[in-house]
Structure 1
């Protein structure tokens, strides 16, 4: 459970850091802040969904309670990273 949450956090945080840098340095000056976020959001959501599937395929979570705990831990790590 903890490994899955940490792997998810690492992948999504790394992607968010990379996309945030691209958005801030190149997209926002060219398109404005709203358009830049609108372009980043679908990429981030799709990648998060894909990464969650990969993490769960490697580290299966046996019960709903464990899945909830994994999700809460990953969410907490993402908020702390922000």
Structure 2
């Protein structure tokens, strides 16, 4: 179980760090030219591609079993930390509120981002199914 929690934390750290960098680049370089929705649609595939391969790396490196429970815990820890990290960024850096954070999901670009975060959280589970199918 310790490795599963460690994998979730590392998964969060890697993807959140890249997401923070890509998000800053998106805001400064893409949004002024493309608008927020197109900018997010450009950013998300890069982030999800990294998340997919980083997830595969971590599950192999930390020897995470393909058991559904282990993979769900890994993804759940990672997305819980992502959400907490985003709330902290809104509160500390953007001087916003939790209510403002939640209301912002009404914007299309933020809903797209939330969908990507859900996919990111499900990657460990999806990969376990792929691993189990390849063993058959």
Provide TM-score, normalisation by structure 2: 0.57
Runs of 4+ in 1 over 4 A off after TM superposition: none
Q: Which runs of 5+ in 1 are unaligned?
A: none
Q: CA RMSD in A?
A: 1.0
Q: Give matches, 1:1-82, under 5 Å.
A: 1-62=4-65, 63-82=67-86
Post-superposition Cα deviations, 1:45-79, rounded to whole Å, max 9, x if no partner, equal 11111110111111122232122111111111111
Higher relative contact order (CA 8 A, sep 6+): 1
Q: Which runs of 5+ in 2 are unaligned?
A: 87-136
Name the count of aligned residue pairs: 82
Q: Which of 1 and 2 has greater Rg?
A: 2
Tell me how far apart the structure 2 counterparts of residues 18 and 56 of structure 1 sit (CA, whole Å).
24
Post-superposition Cα deviations, 1:14-61, rounded to whole Å, max 9, x if no partner, equal 000000000001100121111111111111111111110111111122
Provide TM-score, normalisation by structure 1: 0.92
